C-alpha cells in the first residue's frame, strides 16, 4: 500500500503567520516561504533558447494601448525586438515590442529586457489575446492555448412596460410572495 507523504505547514492568513508545528512560536510567514523554496522545484527555463512567452492576462494604458502580460518560458525579450504572435486561430502575425515592464511586488518597473522565468508586460502588440504565444521566429510552435471558462451567471434584464406591470399586479394579487412572482413571470415569458 502506498502512503501519501507531504510537508505540512500550519498558517493563518489573517494574522500573517505560519508554523511547522502547532506548538511553535511564529511572527511571520517565513516557515511557509522557506518550505516553498525547499520543496517546490524551480521552473525549467532556458534563457539561451529562442523566445517563447505565453500571454495569460491583458492590460491597457491610455498612451501604450493594449498590454500583454505573460510568463517567459524560454529566451529573452528586448525592447525594440520584432516578435511573432501565434494566434489562437493558427495565424502568425509580427509586431515590435515598444515597452517592457516587470513586476516588483505590485509595482511595475520598466526594463530593457526580460529573461526566461520572468513575468513581463509588453506593449506594441495591439491585437494580442489571452492564450496566444509570443515567439522569436515565425517557425516556432505555439504553446497549448489557455482556456478561459465561460461565465457561470446569466441574467435577463427587462424594461418594466405597462403590460409587465399589469402581469405583476395580477400575480401579486394571486400570491403575495415576490419569489413566486419571479418564478411565474419567468414561466410566462418562456411559454410565449
Which tens digit of pLDDT belongs to each residue from 102-132?
A: 998 888 899 999 999 899 999 999 999 999 9
What pLDDT is attached to residue 141? 92
What pLDDT is attached to residue 1? 56
What pLDDT is attached to residue 166? 73
Tens digits of residue pLDDT in 142-174 = 999 887 777 777 777 766 677 777 776 666 665
Which residues fall within 8 angstroms of residue 54, CB to CB, at 6 or more apart? 70, 71, 73, 131, 132, 133, 134, 143, 146
Average pLDDT value over all residues in the chain = 85
Q: What domains can you pick out in the chain, each with its CATH number? A: 10-39 (no CATH), 52-135 (2.40.30.10), 162-191 (no CATH)
Burial 126-149 (b: 16+ CB within 10 A, else e): eebbbbbbbbbeeebebbeeeeee
Tens digits of residue pLDDT in 33-42 = 999 999 888 7
Amino acid at each position: 500500500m502506498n502512503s501519501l507523504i507531504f510537508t505540512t505547514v500550519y498558517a493563518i492568513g489573517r494574522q500573517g503567520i505560519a508554523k511547522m508545528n502547532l506548538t511553535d512560536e511564529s511572527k511571520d510567514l517565513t516557515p511557509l516561504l522557506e518550505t516553498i523554496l525547499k520543496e517546490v522545484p524551480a521552473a525549467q527555463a532556458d534563457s539561451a533558447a529562442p523566445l517563447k512567452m505565453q500571454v495569460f492576462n491583458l492590460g491597457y494604458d491610455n498612451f501604450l494601448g493594449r498590454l500583454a502580460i505573460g510568463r517567459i518560458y524560454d529566451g529573452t525579450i528586448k525592447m525594440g525586438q520584432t516578435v511573432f504572435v501565434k494566434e489562437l486561430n493558427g495565424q502568425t502575425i509580427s509586431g515590435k515590442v515598444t515597452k517592457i515592464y516587470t513586476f516588483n511586488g505590485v509595482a511595475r518597473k520598466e526594463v530593457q529586457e526580460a529573461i526566461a522565468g520572468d513575468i513581463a508586460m509588453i506593449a506594441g502588440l495591439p491585437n494580442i489575446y489571452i492564450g496566444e504565444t509570443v515567439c522569436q521566429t515565425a517557425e516556432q510552435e505555439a504553446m497549448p492555448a489557455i482556456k478561459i471558462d465561460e461565465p457561470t451567471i446569466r441574467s435577463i434584464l427587462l424594461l418594466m412596460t405597462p403590460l409587465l406591470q399589469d402581469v405583476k399586479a395580477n400575480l401579486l394579487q394571486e400570491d403575495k410572495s415576490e419569489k413566486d412572482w419571479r418564478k411565474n413571470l419567468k414561466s410566462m415569458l418562456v411559454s410565449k
